[in-house]
Chains A and B, each alone.
Chain A
């Protein structure tokens, strides 16, 4: 297994004291810290692909990290599409790669 990307002992910022919890991504069982954004928990597990582009299918991941770009949309069971960079992780969350958004939101017209 690859080394986690967590910065456990930051020389200036210290430690993150948050509880370790479990969740799944595309069915795989993973661990993350309670309350951290979903995208952060995935990144710590070396997972960067959060969705695929509606038309071209190209892989997309976190880009702005602060809720502006909408690139990090994932599917959260029971909630629908959420921005992974803003949505806090909770115990037992079931998350999947983001799927296509409804046209009502994108303004896209099917042709």
Chain B
């Protein structure tokens, strides 16, 4: 297993994955904090290191439209975006998923306007959670790189054939330099294999129609198929992770458990904040406290039974959301988790903490405070406030 260890940003790691995947078509539009990713990749294109047709379009709506066209034509297609860019793609996201086009798209998480903000939260991809895309969240640059490579295999699996978003946190990960282990080009190429399009439009021998009018007589049946296909991607995601471990020695599942098995209280949090929370878990464990962490990786399809089971033995949990579902009962993670726990039948006491909107830092002190609050809930058996906002000025 030959590995190259480098110090690079999350965006650089992602663009390196693009280079090794060498897609047929990338259609993209720049948006902070994704800009560097495609900019780096455009250098690989200019240097002739990849054979990709890089289409520099005039908007993200066009970027995703061009991706849909290229994928329907039979190409291996990728793009990347953030926040408002993802919002501008919204209409076409649904068309990509419903047409079963295996496009892979890193989304560098950033707060949606307004007011305008370029820093990290998850309001962008949470708003797109029902578009029919598989959604995989990454904690750091290494995971972003690994997840993008795995995403190609997941998306293109004949049993799945769905587009995949791979998330990592804007600036915190996209612009922070980290140690990343890169695989060999040949290893990545063999892992992803040759792309076999199902129904390429360019096959003139077999003419077919993409995107026809589909009214009350068949639209519902097509949506039912989509619901089934994304559900069935779960075992494929795990199979791909298993094979990926063989080439990388790195382990991936539907979520990551950190000191969860014998924990009494735990935090559930996505992406980079999980890294900070792990440091706090280590510190509290040294003091003999039974604390743990669950970091969701695959949010769509949502592995509700597995997650509810992993949490079922806990006395209290805090579910941290880096986005708001305005007018809803808590953030999107919270509502999914509560519903999963009800289905499983064991419901640890729980609170929802909305944090980090627009890039507001969450530090170790904040996370220590959450574990202290969970302790109090266990002691008193009472939850004072179910949905809370952490780090906002009163």
A and B: interacting chains: no
- Where the two chains meet, the residues of B that have a C-beta atom closer than 8 Å to any C-beta of A are none
- Where the two chains meet, the residues of A that have a C-beta atom closer than 8 Å to any C-beta of B are none
